Amino acid sequence: MAEELPHRHATLDEVAALAGVSRSVASRVINNAPHVSRAKRESVEKAIRKLGYVPNPKARALATRQAGAAALVISRDDPEVLTDPFFGQLIAGVAGALEEADLHMMLCVAATPRGRERVEQLVRSRAVDGVMLTASHEDDPLARIAKESPLPVVFGGRPVDFEPRWYVDIDNVGGARDATEHLLARGRTRVVTICGPQDTEVARSRHRGYREAMTLAGLTPRPPEVGDFSEAAGAAAMTRLLEAHPDLDGVFAANDNMAAGALRALRGAGRSVPEDVSVVGFDDLAVAQLTDPALTTIHQPIRDLGREMARMLVGVVAGRTAGPLILPTHLVKRSST
């Protein structure tokens, strides 16, 4: 019974006709709905096979008002973001969870004005059942649209300027606290930090974690130096810190790139790591394994982040309630501490 793929699609009507039933019955068979006798069910199934019938998802979407798809929106001006392996892992997580729910994934890169407009259109036209919004920055117009839309929107990472109804985030505060406490546990007491840009929630949270750990240990947090998350900025910040605190013996950098820069600057200043100074990063990017010495850092479960975002969205779409979800991080001990 090897069927050709017919160029013209069979319709449900044709299936029903061939099976000698009404379209309603055929539809019920397709959707595995009750109220179909065993005999008719089989006869419809046979007709489906014979005609190579595949339901038309557009017609179905129109009738059910469900798109059968969710959008993953990457909202960032820089089209290069995707090069970051972060997104590969995030996408992998999202893909897996959407597959479980049998939803398709629409991937939207909102890097240009045109791209952002398209996303807005997508949301307003309800071409998808829900949206996962990530990499959103402060004053992101998409965040506003998403916030106002009746469509379920799950945020990846808590936005800096409001608390969305649904979001999944990494435990930045806890991770930073762990990192700092790790430094303290190794006997470091003059611990400083290199922060990220203060208009990002990530940077703020990680800074908060540092302060909490210091205060908890009865130490006074030292004023941070700020960088833009780049290696160069990390090196520059480290240099400034060495001037301000020549006695420092521990550094918590808000991400691995800056930590790598800090290592470079420390070496340049003649301090040896981890003998004189211990350094901890955050993110556990590939670079963390390639620095010399290899970087102790906070690993974040990016793939889980994607998975949980998708699961949360699926839940909300299905009418289940859900609250924010914060995923735990863990420290990866390498040679820089």
Partner DNA sequence: GGTCACAATGGAAGGGCTTCCAGATCCGTT
Partner DNA sequence: AACGGATCTGGAAGCCCTTCCATTGTGACC
**Which residues form the interface with its own copies (CB under 8 A)?**
5, 7, 9, 54-59, 61-62, 67, 69, 72, 79-80, 82-85, 87-89, 91-92, 95-96, 99, 102, 104-109, 111-112, 114-115, 118, 121-122, 124-127, 148-150, 286, 290
> Beta strand 250-253 with 278-280: parallel, antiparallel or unpaired?
parallel
With respect to its own copies, which residue has the nearer C-beta, 127 or 269?
127
- Paired tokens of 132: 């996962």
The Cα–Cα gap between 300 and 87 comes to: 13
| Minimum gap (Å) between residue 63 Cβ and its own copies | 9
Residue 152: cis peptide before it, omega within 30 degrees of 0: no
With respect to DNA, which residue has the nearer C-beta, 13 or 138?
13
Query: 44 to each of 39, 242, 322, how far by Cα in Å?
Result: 9, 77, 40
149 interacts with, out of its own copies, DNA, none, CB within 5 to 8 A per kind: its own copies
127 interacts with, out of DNA, its own copies, none, CB within 5 to 8 A per kind: its own copies
| Minimum gap (Å) between residue 222 Cβ and its own copies | 33
Find out whether 186 and 221 touch, Cβ atoms under 8 Å: no
Q: Which helix (H) or strand (E) holds 108?
A: strand 104-110
83 interacts with, out of DNA, its own copies, none, CB within 5 to 8 A per kind: its own copies
79 interacts with, out of DNA, its own copies, none, CB within 5 to 8 A per kind: its own copies
12 interacts with, out of its own copies, DNA, none, CB within 5 to 8 A per kind: DNA
Burial of 17 (0-12, 13-18, 19+ CB in 10 A): middle
Rounded to a whole number, what is the largest CA-CA distance in the chain? 88
| Minimum gap (Å) between residue 132 Cβ and DNA | 24
Tell me the residue type at 204: R
Burial of 84 (0-12, 13-18, 19+ CB in 10 A): middle
| Minimum gap (Å) between residue 148 Cβ and DNA | 20
The Cα–Cα gap between 203 and 225 comes to: 12
Residues 47-76 that bind DNA (CB under 7 A): 53, 55-56, 59-60, 62-65
> How many other C-beta atoms are found inside a 10 Å radius of the C-beta of residue 275?
8
With respect to DNA, which residue has the nearer C-beta, 29 or 72?
29
Burial of 80 (0-12, 13-18, 19+ CB in 10 A): exposed
Find out whether 64 and 101 touch, Cβ atoms under 8 Å: no
With respect to DNA, which residue has the nearer C-beta, 53 or 86?
53
The Cα–Cα gap between 43 and 20 comes to: 8
Interacting residue with DNA among 3, 6, 31, 330 (CB under 7 A): 31
Nearest to 202 by CA among 123, 98, 282, 262: 282
| Minimum gap (Å) between residue 168 Cβ and its own copies | 19
With respect to its own copies, which residue has the nearer C-beta, 148 or 161?
148
Interacting residue with DNA among 27, 255, 291, 300 (CB under 7 A): 27
**Does 121 help bind DNA (rule: CB under 7 A)?**
no
**Does 5 help bind DNA (rule: CB under 7 A)?**
no
| Minimum gap (Å) between residue 234 Cβ and DNA | 52
Nearest to 51 by CA among 19, 99, 25, 23: 19
**Does 35 help bind DNA (rule: CB under 7 A)?**
yes
Interface with DNA (CB under 7 A): 9, 11-13, 20-25, 27-28, 30-31, 33-37, 39-40, 53, 55-56, 59-60, 62-65
